[in-house]
Structure 1
Amino acid sequence: MTEPRIRVAAFDCGTNSIRLLICDLHGDVKSDHLREMKIVRLGQDVDRTGRLADEAIGRTLSATRDYAELIPLLGVERIVFCATSAVRDAENGEAFCDAIEGILGVRPIVLDGPAEARATFLGATRDLDEARTLVVDIGGGSTEVVVGRGKDIESAVSLNIGSVRLTERFLHADPPTAGEIAACGEHIDALLAPIASFAPVERFVGVAGTITTVAAHALELPAYDSRAIHGAKLDRDVVRTACNDLLNMTVADRRALGFMHPGRADVIGGGALILDRIIDRLPLDTDVMIASERDILDGIAWMAADPRLG
């Protein structure tokens, strides 16, 4: 019996951005209709206060209302809203979820670290062959490091290091001082130490906004071009050079880059430093990073068809 086609709206509500994907799922085939992103900085000061700030909640709810207007226009049949690091860290996360449910009519799923990592791997590798793969997703509040083959995940780790979290905690000067960078790097290395003993992998895939922005810089793109970025194979030394360039720029110089989203310019240095340390510390049997535009948002969409995947 042929599986029915279903149109889903998948929401990824992270520390820095909220994204929407509307797509059709038909068996093992996904057809995208709309991808949208808004930088809302929901995780503003959560690392320091343990709470979602009122103004950050307001920005995120406003973006969600804008997205909600698209759902009936595009004939969506099922909605899945997933929240990650900022909401799971915040003591008022439940109140935020109540507000989202009031707008969309569905209760947000607050993914714990391992579930976030699984969804990331699912989205990033669905269309790849079964080579043993490392997937890295650097978000605003956390970084997911996942190793697996095909649909089988061997190890999935979520670390409390992200572009927003580390910028707020360590990188205060503009540009960051050598001392700030050293202290931040030491903190990252300490958290990476337990996973540096992973067995080497055949393929390294980097996903999400920090990594695709670094890829755009490595490719010297005049403007952000997802078609040029998706699937780009970048030498690790080229990636590390791009990371260090972005880390040591002023915020104004970053904003002047044609591919840079203005809402990412002030925190990209922290994310770039995480990527640089991961490349340096994790065991890789490849000198290439593959940049991918497929990530946790795609994994959330697949979860809409089969909740067991989450």
Structure 2
Amino acid sequence: MDKLVVVDVGSNSVRMSIYQINKYGNYQEIKRMKSDSRLSENMGSGKILKPAAINRTIQALHSFKNVYKRMNNITVLSIATAAVRQARNQKIFLNKVEKQLGLKIRVLSGNEEAYYDYLGVINRVKMNDYLLVDIGGASIELVRVRGKKRKNLISLPIGAVNISERFHLDGLPSAADLFNAQRFLKRIFHQVPWLQKASHYQLVVLGGAARTLARVNRYRQHFGYSDNLNGYHLNQHQIFTTYENLLSRNYHSRQTIPGIEKDKADIIVGGLLPLITLIDELDSRRIVFSDGGVREGLINEYVDRYYKHN
């Protein structure tokens, strides 16, 4: 059987999924790895990838390669998203990766990232109309879906890491910092001309902050830990109650909450604020979690291109 390796160099984490594909184009994930290398850390307004973040990311990519190089019949697709897309020293990073690992990384545009999110989710969601929201480390992708068809999409250059850094939301946030962060987000969302067409839509959410929100609530409901969050849902009250609890705690206290990974405790308040703001702006009563996303979109496109039409 053929194997497809998808390497996703994200702004907060680097992930690898390995899929086994049979001759009919049916596939299943056989290996998954993740490293929270936080590539976008301290990029600042200059949008420069920092040496420490680059080295952490390359180290993670080496560990991935040590796994997939032992496999037969592999094709490797490697992509990068917001941090590399925005970086002024993008070429230096890409050349360093290619020189050290022989890996050519495709940098997705914001619209491409949103499109692959849509491709990765569309067959996993039962609803016809919804707003797809992917909150990453350095960008947010929004896709308005009506009748299971994408109607509008956009990528915004804000995310969990840069919001947290810019508005000092890593510790116990002050009222002023939280207020300024929400005003900033509202201003950006108001510049998306079609967003109000998604008023009262349910939200389908992706990304690390969303997964953390789901896990915290699943622990609270005694479901325990699970990577399979597809279809799990929360209402507005549950989300706001969880966020209020996070706001009342400092960084160290947040680390003790079941469901929160310790290395996410400093960015979870900033990571969930865009979701809280969107729920408020659109009066969305329910959010639904999906385990689809960019990597699943890429495998769906790959299988459709090389297997379904043969």
Q: Which moved more, 1:166-175 or 1:182-191?
A: 166-175
Q: Would you say 1:11 and 2:7 are equivalent positions?
A: yes
* Whole-Å separation in 1 of the counterparts to 2:253 and 2:185: 25
Identity of counterpart residues, as a percentage? 27
Q: Which moved more, 1:149-158 or 1:5-14?
A: 149-158
SS in structure 2 at match of 1:11: strand
Equivalent position of 1:226 in the other structure = 227
Give the AA of the match of 1:13: V
Task: Provide closer, same or farther for how the CA distance between residues 244 and 301 of structure 1 changes in structure 2, counting only shifts above 3 A.
Answer: farther
Q: Which moved more, 1:194-203 or 1:27-36?
A: 194-203
| Superposition deviation, residue 76 in structure 1 | 5.2
Residue by residue over 1:95-118, the C-alpha shift from the partner in whole angstroms, topping out at 9 and shown as x without a partner, is 211222234434111111111111
| Superposition deviation, residue 29 in structure 1 | 3.3
* Whole-Å separation in 2 of the counterparts to 1:123 and 1:59: 27
| Contact 1:247–1:272 under 8 Å retained in 2 | no
TM-score by length of 2: 0.89
| Superposition deviation, residue 14 in structure 1 | 1.1
Equivalent position of 1:294 in the other structure = 292
Alignment of 1:83-94 (within 5 A): 83-94=80-91
Instruction: Give the one of 167, 170, 173 matched to 2:167.
Output: 170
SS in structure 2 at match of 1:294: coil
* Whole-Å separation in 2 of the counterparts to 1:231 and 1:76: 33
TM-score by length of 1: 0.89
| Superposition deviation, residue 130 in structure 1 | 6.1
* Whole-Å separation in 2 of the counterparts to 1:103 and 1:261: 30
Q: Which moved more, 1:22-31 or 1:117-126?
A: 22-31
Q: Which moved more, 1:236-245 or 1:178-187?
A: 236-245
Task: Tell me the number of residue pairs that the alignment of Structure 1 and Structure 2 aligns.
Answer: 301
| Contact 1:17–1:38 under 8 Å retained in 2 | yes
| Contact 1:246–1:272 under 8 Å retained in 2 | no
Unaligned regions of 5+ residues in structure 2, if any? Answer: none
SS in structure 2 at match of 1:140: coil
Residue by residue over 1:48-82, the C-alpha shift from the partner in whole angstroms, topping out at 9 and shown as x without a partner, is 33210001000000000000011123435211111
Equivalent position of 1:40 in the other structure = 37
| Superposition deviation, residue 128 in structure 1 | 3.1
* Whole-Å separation in 2 of the counterparts to 1:87 and 1:202: 32
Instruction: Give the one of 27, 31, 35 matched to 2:28.
Output: 31
Give the AA of the match of 1:98: N
SS in structure 2 at match of 1:220: helix
* Whole-Å separation in 1 of the counterparts to 2:232 and 2:245: 19
* Whole-Å separation in 2 of the counterparts to 1:9 and 1:63: 15
Residue by residue over 1:167-192, the C-alpha shift from the partner in whole angstroms, topping out at 9 and shown as x without a partner, is 11012572010000000000011111
Q: Which moved more, 1:215-224 or 1:86-95?
A: 215-224
Give the AA of the match of 1:35: R
Q: Would you say 1:101 and 2:98 are equivalent positions?
A: yes
* Whole-Å separation in 1 of the counterparts to 2:294 and 2:253: 30
Equivalent position of 1:128 in the other structure = 125
| Superposition deviation, residue 150 in structure 1 | 7.0
* Whole-Å separation in 2 of the counterparts to 1:297 and 1:139: 14
| Superposition deviation, residue 88 in structure 1 | 1.0
Equivalent position of 1:267 in the other structure = 267
Give the AA of the match of 2:81: T
| Superposition deviation, residue 125 in structure 1 | 2.1
Q: Would you say 1:80 and 2:44 are equivalent positions?
A: no
| Contact 1:64–1:103 under 8 Å retained in 2 | no
| Contact 1:124–1:207 under 8 Å retained in 2 | no
Residue by residue over 1:98-155, the C-alpha shift from the partner in whole angstroms, topping out at 9 and shown as x without a partner, is 2222344341111111111111111122333461232111011011111225773211
Q: Which moved more, 1:215-224 or 1:45-54?
A: 215-224
Equivalent position of 1:22 in the other structure = 18
* Whole-Å separation in 1 of the counterparts to 2:235 and 2:39: 33
SS in structure 1 at match of 2:165: helix
Task: Provide closer, same or farther for how the CA distance between residues 128 and 150 of structure 1 changes in structure 2, counting only shifts above 3 A.
Answer: farther
| Contact 1:133–1:201 under 8 Å retained in 2 | no
Q: CA RMSD in A?
A: 2.3
* Whole-Å separation in 2 of the counterparts to 1:76 and 1:290: 36
Q: Which moved more, 1:5-14 or 1:137-146?
A: 5-14
Give the AA of the match of 2:87: A
| Contact 2:141–2:153 under 8 Å retained in 1 | yes
* Whole-Å separation in 2 of the counterparts to 1:135 and 1:128: 10
Q: Which moved more, 1:125-134 or 1:176-185?
A: 125-134
| Superposition deviation, residue 305 in structure 1 | 3.8
Equivalent position of 1:63 in the other structure = 60
